[in-house]
A = this chain, B = another copy of it.
Amino acid sequence: MDSNDLKHLLTAIQTGDLSVDEGLDRLRRLPFEDVGEAMIDHHRALRQGVPEVVLGESKTAEQIATIVQHMVAHGDNVLVTRISSDKAEFLSNNYPNGEHDPLAKTFILQQKPFDDLGLGKILIICAGTSDLPVAREAANTARMFNNLVEELVDVGVAGIHRLLAHTDALLEATVIIVVAGMEGALPSVVGGLVDVPVIAVPTSVGYGASFNGIAALLGMLNSCAGGITVVNIDNGFGAAFAATRINRKKTA
């Protein structure tokens, strides 16, 4: 029930086409049915420049294809995340224009041109090459959400000069996503060098006492640098989603 429906209802009462009691009865259930209407309409705002997203991980290739088929009908861009190579191959057969990134495990179907809807640029910094899949998922997601994206790779804390060599990129970003596994120390260093929001993404890269990303996660939560917030282990998508909200131009 949207505003128009509601207006018709009230008008019907005004005109006497509907009794007060009948109106009351229909309104009684309004709270539950219409929360979405009033508040969730930010979805409409958000949808400017937001793709349809499918989490491919726990779905079969056929299920994904069916969902994508519905999405394609709306003309929106489509982003499938966490899709394995065999499922991606199945999709590619149906959508030869689709782009499969095996590293990021994303499948992208572009139906309308990308746009730059951000305040500036999202910088994605990746500590080591093993962290690349997560960083690339973030990068692909951020681009699909119509942000300008720049990527820095292999600038871990054990060779701090490699990071310091990228002054320009660091100083130009509106928001920075830092992807790191093992000890997860890079966000602390970056956070101390810049004054924009830093989103830290721990990865499950490492072995032994890295405990599949727990060491990196704890390191990032305990960062001694300010302005850092953290997302779940390997959650490149979530980091890009949050970065998009930060980077999005406010329409006042």
One digit per residue, 1 when the CB lies within 8 angstroms of any chain B CB and 0 when it does not, for chain A 165-201 equals 1110011001100000011110011011111110100
Residues facing B in A113-170 (CB within 8 A) are: 119-120, 127-130, 156-162, 164-167, 170
Query: Which of A69-77, A88-96, A234-242 interfaces with chain B?
Result: A234-242
Asked if residues B127 and A224 are in contact (CB atoms below 8 Å), the reply is: yes
Q: A132 — nearest CB in chain B belongs to which residue?
A: B58
Given contacts A227-B241, A230-B231, contact A31 B29 (CB under 8 A): no
Q: Is A246 an interface residue (CB 8 A)?
A: yes
* A39 vs B172: C-alpha distance when bound (angstroms): 12
> Can you tell how many copies of this chain the complex includes?
8
Question: Does A193 lie within 8 Å of B10, measured CB to CB?
Answer: no
- Report chain B residues within 8 Å CB of A40: 159, 161, 192-193
Chain A interface bracket (under 10, 10 to 19, 20 to 34, 35 or more): 35 or more
> Which chain B residue shows the least CB distance to A127?
B224
Q: From residue A118, how far is it (CB to closest CB) to chain B in Å?
A: 11
Interface residue A214 (Cβ < 8 Å from any Cβ of B) = yes
Residues of B within 8 A of A45 (CB): 195
A55 to chain B, nearest CB (A): 8
In the assembly, what is the distance between CA of A16 and CA of B42, in Å?
33
Residue contact A183 to B188, C-beta cutoff 8 Å? yes
CB-CB < 8 A to A27: which residues of B? 6, 10, 27, 30
Contacts A37-B31, A233-B209 hold; do A185 and B194 have CB atoms under 8 A apart? Answer: no
Q: Do A189 and B158 touch across chains, with their CB atoms under 8 A apart?
A: yes
Note all chain B residues with C-beta closer than 8 A to A241. 226-227
Given contacts A35-B164, A158-B192, A215-B218, 4 further A-B contacts (CB under 8 A): A10-B23, A14-B20, A32-B161, A221-B231
